[in-house]
Amino acid sequence: MIFMLLESWRYPEELKSLYLLKKRQERSKEKRPINELAKELDDISFCYAVLDRVSRSFAAVIRQLPEELRDSVCLFYLVLRGLDSIEDDTKTAIEVRAELLRTFHLKHNDPNWSVSGIGDSNDYRLLLENYQLVISAFQKLPLDHQKIILSTCDQMGAGMCKYLDREVNQIDEYDEYCGYVAGLVGIGLSQLFSSSGLENSAVGRNEELSNSMGLFLQKTNIIRDYHEDLLAERTFWPREIWGQYSSTLSELKGLKDGRSTQCLNHLITDALQHGGDCLTYLKSIKNPMVFRFCAIPQVMAIATLAEVFSNDEVFRKNVKIRKGLAAKLIFQANTYQEVQKIFEKFSIDIFKKIPKNDPNSYLTASYLRRLVNKQSKIKEIDLFSKERSMLEKHAMAS
Ligand code: MG
């Protein structure tokens, strides 16, 4: 806590948001061990208590959702958390994980099912060990919600299996993998929003926009987690991109000639292409609480991309935005106009950091331009893009 305060001491608004957020979190935090909770709480209370434990960022926004959606989204989160912790548990044999991933959706028909000793953290293991309570709460959800959740779980499990023993090489595969683990979440959530009647049916039908919402978040995490994933001997950066700058992925962190920064910025540019879709999606959301639920992760993502852009620290440690900044964004992302402003601010921050000699600078600037409000006074990005395109035409002609 002291570190968080020190980090934000120059930003009074962040300190205030940190204080408010801490107060809110303390009120909801259940401190007893998960196994004890499983014995004492009913199924749905257990699910919310575990949600607080396994999801630092989502628990609060899920609790604020309208009643028609709250339990379904809480269960959706826990089901996918269960699936993901099976995928990530590299200590368990691949065959065991593959079988579980393939059949996980079917377990939700068996009210007594649980599994011991699987999960890549203690909390995740305990979630799976007491999974019968998740299933019992799941079976009480509206049937159309159950169907959406299980269909997502089925497709995601199959997708995870496909990539369990192979690396992400081509950009197509990178998009496909991110689509399985995050795009499907966006699609499933949109279907839940429409099915609950809180959003119109077009939201649930537009799979492309929902997929982009997931890809923007997932790619941001993958970029930020370079160091952590390398230590855990996992890689999600696509070879088709990093191979242009280095002969191995781990070599990137030692390069002193700017190639690693170019590689990093290349990946960030690839993620930024989804930003425009995210704004379009958010503009279509009517319910204020559904809006906040969708917008908060997206503003965190654009802030993270601004933090990691041209930032070589990514190769040495896990770079994160200040907790105070995160807290401030949580309280700011209430309306489309506010979110648009946040996207604009961080887009301009990134724009200002584009190195002159960056091979992707034109593309980076053109994606950023889509995130800046047309009526805005800032014309810099337009000018920059025009200048670049003229230079490139000139280079091609000569
Ligand atoms: Mg995973």
Burial (0-12, 13-18, 19+ Cβ within 10 Å), 53: buried
Q: What is the pLDDT of residue 14?
A: 85
Q: What is the Cα–Cα distance from 196 to 213, expressed in whole angstroms?
A: 20
Q: What is the Cα–Cα distance from 369 to 322, expressed in whole angstroms?
A: 26
Question: With contact defined as beta carbons under 8 Å apart, do 232 and 318 qualify?
Answer: no
* Ligand 1 centroid to residue 87 C-alpha, Å: 5
Half-sphere exposure of 226 (CA within 13 A, CB side): 26
Q: What is the pLDDT of residue 60?
A: 84
Cβ atoms within 10 A of the Cβ of 233, count? Answer: 7
* Ligand 1 centroid to residue 188 C-alpha, Å: 18
Q: Which residue has the tokens 């370079």?
A: 226
* Ligand 1 centroid to residue 307 C-alpha, Å: 23
Q: What is the Cα–Cα distance from 309 to 301, expressed in whole angstroms?
A: 12
* Ligand 1 centroid to residue 164 C-alpha, Å: 10
* Ligand 1 centroid to residue 216 C-alpha, Å: 16
Q: What is the pLDDT of residue 356?
A: 85
Question: Among the options 293, 343, 346, 384, which is catalytic?
Answer: 293
Q: What is the Cα–Cα distance from 335 to 393, expressed in whole angstroms?
A: 40
**What does pTM read for this prediction?**
0.91
Terminal-residue alpha carbon distance, the chain: 58
Question: With contact defined as beta carbons under 8 Å apart, do 150 and 188 qualify?
Answer: no
| DSSP secondary structure letters along 204-218 | HH-HHHHHHHHHHHH
* Ligand 1 centroid to residue 84 C-alpha, Å: 5
pLDDT digits (tens, 9 = 90+) for 171-181: 999 999 999 99
177 belongs to the catalytic site: yes
Q: What are phi and psi of 199, to 5 degrees?
A: -125, 155
224 belongs to the catalytic site: yes
Q: What is the Cα–Cα distance from 379 to 394, expressed in whole angstroms?
A: 23
Which of 166 and 274 is assigned the larger pLDDT? 274
63 belongs to the catalytic site: no
193 belongs to the catalytic site: no
The residues, any chain, with a CB within 8 Å of residue 387's CB and separated by 6 or more, are none
CA-CA distances (angstroms) from residue 232 to 89, 226, 227, 267, 319? Answer: 11, 10, 9, 20, 16
Is 381's pLDDT higher than 70? no
* Ligand 1 centroid to residue 327 C-alpha, Å: 26
* Ligand 1 centroid to residue 108 C-alpha, Å: 20
* Ligand 1 centroid to residue 167 C-alpha, Å: 13
Question: With contact defined as beta carbons under 8 Å apart, do 47 and 137 qualify?
Answer: yes
Question: Among the options 53, 97, 224, 369, which is catalytic?
Answer: 224
Q: What is the Cα–Cα distance from 97 to 88, expressed in whole angstroms?
A: 9
Give me the count of residues in the chain.
Answer: 398
* Ligand 1 centroid to residue 361 C-alpha, Å: 31
Question: With contact defined as beta carbons under 8 Å apart, do 83 and 157 qualify?
Answer: yes
Is 383's pLDDT higher than 90? no
Q: What is the pLDDT of residue 120?
A: 85
pLDDT digits (tens, 9 = 90+) for 30-45: 678 888 889 989 999 9
pLDDT digits (tens, 9 = 90+) for 195-211: 999 999 999 999 999 99
Question: Among the options 124, 177, 193, 245, which is catalytic?
Answer: 177
